[in-house]
Amino acid sequence: MSKTASSSAILESVSDAIVDVTERVSRSVVRVGAGRWRGGTGTVWSKDGHIVTSNHVIGDMREVEVGFSDGTKQVAKVVGRDPYSDLALLKVDSNNLTPVETGNSDNLKVGQFVLAVANPFGRQPSATSG
């Protein structure tokens, strides 16, 4: 096998893995709407309705609309926020959400490949890597 063919096979394998991860994670990625001019992405953290988002997305709102990957929408209550870390915790009334799969971050190293999945501008999920 030539070096070019080998590189192409590796690239195709990595690409397939990224598509697979993006599809699995997208079920746990939600759109968060907080008024006419604000919106962003959230991540389903627990089956019982906890969703993590950025604090700057929700501003001073107490309730926000959340759009799920299946097209349904629910009103979420803001149950916690930390402006210093830019995190907010939302809660919807549900007990059958698909939480994001998390790994063990203890062994992560600077320079390792990461993948972020989000709904930029309220559109379909998009993936970026670095």
In the chain, the domains with their CATH numbers are: 3-129 (2.40.10.120)
Residue 1 is predicted with a pLDDT of 57
Residue 36 is predicted with a pLDDT of 67
Residue 26 is predicted with a pLDDT of 86
Write the CB contacts of 94 (distance below 8 Å, at least 6 apart in sequence).
48, 49, 74
Candidates 62, 64, 81, 82; CA nearest to 73 is 64
Q: Sign of torsion, CA 43 57 39 50?
A: positive
Q: Look up residue 42 and give its two tokens.
A: 């959230």
Residue 91 is predicted with a pLDDT of 98
Q: How far, in Å, CA of 44 to CA of 29, rounded?
A: 6
Q: How far, in Å, CA of 68 to CA of 70, rounded?
A: 5
Residue 126 is predicted with a pLDDT of 75
Q: Look up residue 56 and give its two tokens.
A: 């700057």
Residue 3 is predicted with a pLDDT of 61
Length of the chain: 130
Q: Look up residue 45 and give its two tokens.
A: 């953290």
The residues pairing with 112 across neighbouring beta strands, listed in sequence order, are none
Average pLDDT by consecutive 10-residue portion of the chain (130 residues)?
A: 73 87 87 78 94 93 92 95 97 92 84 80 71
pTM of the model: 0.82
Q: What are phi and psi of 7, to 5 degrees?
A: -65, -40
Residue 18 is predicted with a pLDDT of 85
- What are the respective helix, strand and coil percentages of the chain, to the nearest 5? 25, 35, 40
Given a contact cutoff of 8 angstroms between Cβ atoms, the answer to whether 53 and 39 are in contact is no
